[in-house]
Structure formats: structure tokens, C-alpha cells
Structure 1
Amino acid sequence: MINKFVIHPLFWAVFSISMITGHFRDFILVFCLIFIHEIGHTGAAYFFGWRIKKIVFLPFGGVAEVDEHGNKPFREEFIVVMAGPCQHIWMTGAAYFLMTFNIWDPAFYEQFLTYNFMILFFNLLPIWPLDGGKLLFLACARRYPFKRAHLVSLVISLHFLIVFAMVCFIFYPFQLNVFIIILFLGAAHYREWRHHPYIYLRFLLERYHAQKRDCEKQLFIEVQETAFLQDVLKTFRKGVSHRIILKQGMKPRHPIINEYDLLHLFFKEQKAWSTVAECFHSK
């Protein structure tokens, strides 16, 4: 359930600038495009039964905040992310229809297409927290464990942000809106980086409390008995259920350990700095 719609302070700042500079009509057009874009994300999330907290509207986009923590199937997350950009495709067709039947004049049609594709391509940039940045994280999560994937995607995203900022300052050096966008994206990276330990723990905690896995695929992980519990958990990936095989030297030991047992030791018994051997020999 959506608790509320939130208007970001930057939205009101750009709104005021548009009023002063006489670009109010452009602002309303962009807002409508952003609204439909976010409704696409929200509708897809509702379809899959996600818990939606709020939708935050920004002057150049929006963020649909969900109470999910990286454990949804890749297919669901991909569809929810792409549901926003896909709205711009049907809107292009609808705009052409309105222009063809003289409901819109050609000048407004051209203006609509400009803003429509500008928002579409901007949101597909591989920069967090844009849709492209979320796709970048999903791609990293396919290759790396969750904790590492989150950090790697942020590092790659930051490099793209630096390149984006350099291009903008070269070609649009006096655009206040561009400066506001870059400032917001930089702050979003800093906040996500600071919250990384919390995001990782929420990922593990949701796995611990989950009664049913969205993905039944199993991943077997071989670890040495001398490995610390917290280091084993760092190898956990999204989209799979983990089975841990203990090794003493080069020889595997039985039985195979379920991921729930390790998570229970981590959260309930607080044995993060105990070795796997100590955890299970003491039980």
C-alpha cells in the first residue's frame, strides 16, 4: 500500500524557477511524463505484490520506494524497473495519433517528443538511482554475491556520473537545472554508499525471516571450516537458496548446512566472528 506521495524540495525549487522564467507549460508537461513513468513502476510492483512505501517526485524524474530488500526474483525486478521506461513507448504512439488527427499541433508534438525521449534516455543512464543504475546493479548481482555486487555497481555508477557531469559542464555550463540534477545524483551516491552495511544486513535479515523462497534454485558453496561466519555470508547471492559444504583441508564434510542455520547463528546467537567449525561443534 502506498502511504503517501512525496514532493521532493528540489521539485519546488525547479517549479519556482519555471514560474519566474516563463517555462511553466514545459514544467507541467515534464511532470505529467514523470508521473506516468512512475505509475508504470508502481503498477508493475503492485502486480507482483511488492510492498510500496511511497513515490517521491523529483524535477527530472521520480523514485518509487519499495519495502523490498534485494530478494525478489531477477525477472520481477527487471520488469518493475523497465515498466517505467516502457511507458514512453506507448506515449510516443499516442502523441503521434493526437497530432495526426489535429488534436495536437505539430509544434507541441515536437516539444512532447523532445521531453519524452529526454526523460527516457536520461533514466536509462547507468547511474544510481536512475532506472539504468538499477539495471546495472541487477547485472552485477548476476555475476557477484549481493554485497560485492552492490559496491561494484556503485563504483561503476560513480564513474558514469563523473563522465556525465563533465559532458554537461562542457556543453551546458550555465544551466541551473543540470547543476541541480548532478548535485542530487552525487548526494544519492553518497547516501547509498553510507547505507551499504544497512542494505546488506536487510538483505540477510529478509532471507532469515522469509518463510518461502521466490526462487527454488540452489547454490552449493564450499567453505573451509576455519572461515568466519560473517565471511561466508558475504558470498550469499540474490535469487538462489544456499547450501554450504564444509571442507576440512581438501575433503568435504557432511552434512550439508542450510543457509537458515548460518543466518540464525549470525542474528540470534551473534556469532559473526566465530568460525564455521566453532559454530557447529559447539551446538
Structure 2
Amino acid sequence: MNKWNRLFGVKLRFHPLFSIVILLSILAGYFIETATLFGIVLIHELGHVMAAKNFGWRVKEIQLLPFGGVAVVEELASVPAWQEIIVTLSGPLQNGIMMVAAMALQATGVISGEWSAYFIQANLFVALFNLLPILPLDGGKIMQSLLSLWLPYQRVIVLSCVASLVLSVVLIAAAVLHIIYGGFQLNLFIIGLFLFYSNWYAYKGMSYHFMRFLIHRGNTLNRLMRQGTLAQPIVVDGRRKVTEIVRLFMREKYHLVYVMDERGAIRVVLPEQPLLQTYFNESKRGSAISELFM
């Protein structure tokens, strides 16, 4: 691997649209502004990387995208939600630190007021835009982490994807409607289209996302049992299919499944592990739980 496309041992990957945006900015005579924005985005992403590595996460790469960047990690809902929120907020935190540093340098006369104003404005834009509740922006990840504290994870995936698609359309519509107020917002339009495409692709791959969550579920269960946890009951009747029950699993909970009969009596109590093993057998996942365990 070429050492020039790595930073702190993490691979850097430039999205083609990001490269086009950079080239167009340079051709338009905004090299200094573009270089500054590139540095801001990179430091923002390094904030995510350093926080993730501090928790022992495996960081695959930093993707630089038209709207900023994304730190790609191996962990997917197999770590505590609070860790995920801290890692996500570590990016905007870097923007806040850079803004304070710029104010201090301007006050001491080290940098000019004009450049400091642009630097602060650019940091504020990157931080606030990334906090929009749209995946894969930081705000979308925080939204997904918070939802996972109260809802089954399969439902979290669906809701976050649908919300991200709707808000991506809102961005596109805002760019088009801006024509009425003085001009077409090309950058916002391109970003909106990119986010819509990214979330449409994620929407179609929700089953893959959920399967990855279940595959890593063993690590989560081991962590919960090591630290000690209260079991979250799931109450079903024997006619419910294994697939339907697994979709009720929550990210931060260990479940015991109570299977009831028609009279409301408990027929069997199942931990998660045998249900997960059954689900991974494609020939059995569509079977009623009574056919397999009663």
C-alpha cells in the first residue's frame, strides 16, 4: 500500500465527486479556500479516527466525499451506543477547537481578521452541516444510536434510512427553490443528490445491514454478560416465526423469549443464542417457533 495515501495508519480514499469539486474550485480561483476546507474536513475526520482507536475500534479508511468525509470502521452496532455517540461527536468537537484557536490567534494578531473569519465560518458550516440527521452524516449516526436505545434494531435501520431519504429530498428541493431567491445552489443540489443516492443504496441493503448486526451479536452478548445486565423479555405465541422474533432484538439488551400457549401459560423460555443459530439456517428461519422448540 502506498504510504502517501495513509495517515496515522489509516487509508485515505477520495471519492470521484470530491476530486471534481476540488478541481472546479481550483479552476475558479479558490485554491486557498479549497485547501483550507480540505484541511478542516481532514481534521474533523481524524477526530473520529482518534476517538475510535481510543476505544479499540478497527478503522478501515477515511473516505473524503463531496459533503465532507466518513471514517469507515469495522464495528457495526456491536459496541455500546454511548461509544458510538462519543466517536461521532469527536468530529464536530475538532471544529469547535479550531474555531476557538482561530479566535485566539486573531486576538493576538498572528492571523488576519479576514482569514480568521473565513476559517471560523468554514468550521461552523462543516460542523453544523454534519450534524443534520441524515446518514451517513454525524447527525444521522447519532440519530441511529439514540433510536437503538429504545427500539428494536431492525426498526431502527428502517426508520433512519427512510428519514435520511426524506431529508435528502428536502435538501434537493431547497436547492431548486433557491432559484426564486437569486440563484441555483449547485453545491447543495449535488450534495442532496449524493445523500439521496447513498441512502437509497443503504435502503436496498437493509437486510445486509441487519444480517451484519446479527453476525456480530455474539460479541454484544458476551459483553453484556461480562458486565452483568438485566434481561429484556420478549413475549410471543408459538405461531410466531423465528424471523419475526429476531427482528425484535434490541441493540443494548439481552433477551429472553417467553413462548406462551393459547391459555397464557409459559411453554418454554429461550435465550437468544439458539434463536440466532436457527435464524442463520435459511431452511428454518421461516418456521414457527413451536415447530422447532416445543
Residue 176 of structure 1 deviates from its aligned partner by 2.9
Give the alignment of 1:175-190 within 5 angstroms: 175-190=185-200
Deviation at 1:113, TM superposition (A): 1.2
Asked whether the equivalents of residues 71 and 239 of structure 1 are also in contact (C-alpha less than 8 Å), the reply is no
- Select the residue among 47, 53, 77 that pairs with 2:54: 47
Match of 2:173 in 1: 166
Structure 2 CA distance for aligned equivalents of residues 279 and 8 of structure 1? 48
Please give the residue correspondences for 1:231-250 in structure 2 after superposition, counting only pairs within 5 Å: 231-250=244-263
Separation in structure 1 between the aligned mates of residue 178 and residue 201 of structure 2, nearest angstrom: 28
1:139 paired with 2:146, answer yes
The answer to whether the Cα contact below 8 Å between 2:162 and 2:203 also exists between their aligned partners in 1 is no
Q: Please identify runs of 4+ aligned residues in structure 1 that moved more than 3 A.
A: 208-211, 214-217
Q: Secondary structure at the match of 2:287?
A: coil
Query: Whole-Å Cα distance in 1 between the matches of residues 235 and 267 of structure 2?
Result: 11
Q: Say if 2:131 and 2:139, in contact at 8 Å, map to a contact too.
A: yes
Q: Which runs of 5+ in 1 are unaligned?
A: none
Look up the match of 2:3: none
Say yes or no: does 1:204 pair with 2:214: yes
Q: Separation in 1 of the partners of 2:265 and 2:212? A: 31
* Corresponding residue for residue 76 of structure 1: 83
TM-score for the superposition, normalised by structure 2: 0.90
In structure 1, C-alpha distance between the alignment counterparts of 2:210 and 2:138, rounded to whole Å: 20
Q: CA offset at residue 211 of structure 1?
A: 6.8
Distance 2:70 2:14 in 1: 10
- Equivalent residue pairs, number: 281
Which residue of 2 is the match for residue 229 of structure 1? 242
Q: For residues 157 and 49 of structure 2, what CA distance do their matches in structure 1 show?
A: 23
Identity, % of aligned positions: 33
In 2, Cα distance between the equivalents of 1:2 and 1:252?
57
Compare 238-247 and 215-224 and name the one that shifted more: 215-224
Task: State the AA in 2 paired with 1:139.
Answer: L
Distance 2:210 2:137 in 1: 20
Deviations 1:45-100 (A, max 9, x none): 11111121111012331001111121221111111111111111111110011111
Question: Is the CA contact 1:245–1:252 (under 8 Å) kept in the aligned structure 2?
Answer: no
Is the partner of 2:110 in helix, strand or coil? coil
Number of the residue aligned with 1:127: 134
SS in 1 for 2:233: strand
Q: Do 2:256 and 2:270's aligned partners in 1 also have CA atoms closer than 8 Å?
A: yes
From 23, 31, 34, the counterpart of 1:24:
31
With over 3 angstroms needed to count, the CA separation of the structure-2 counterparts of 1:210 and 1:109, relative to structure 1, is: closer
The C-alpha deviation readout for 1:113-147, integer Å capped at 9, x for no partner, is: 11111111100111111111111212322232111
1:113 to 107, 120, 123: 120
* Matching residue of 2:204: 194
Task: Quote the residue 1:148 is aligned against.
Answer: 155
TM-score normalised by structure 1 residue count? 0.93
Match of 1:81, as an amino acid? Answer: T
Deviation at 1:254, TM superposition (A): 5.3
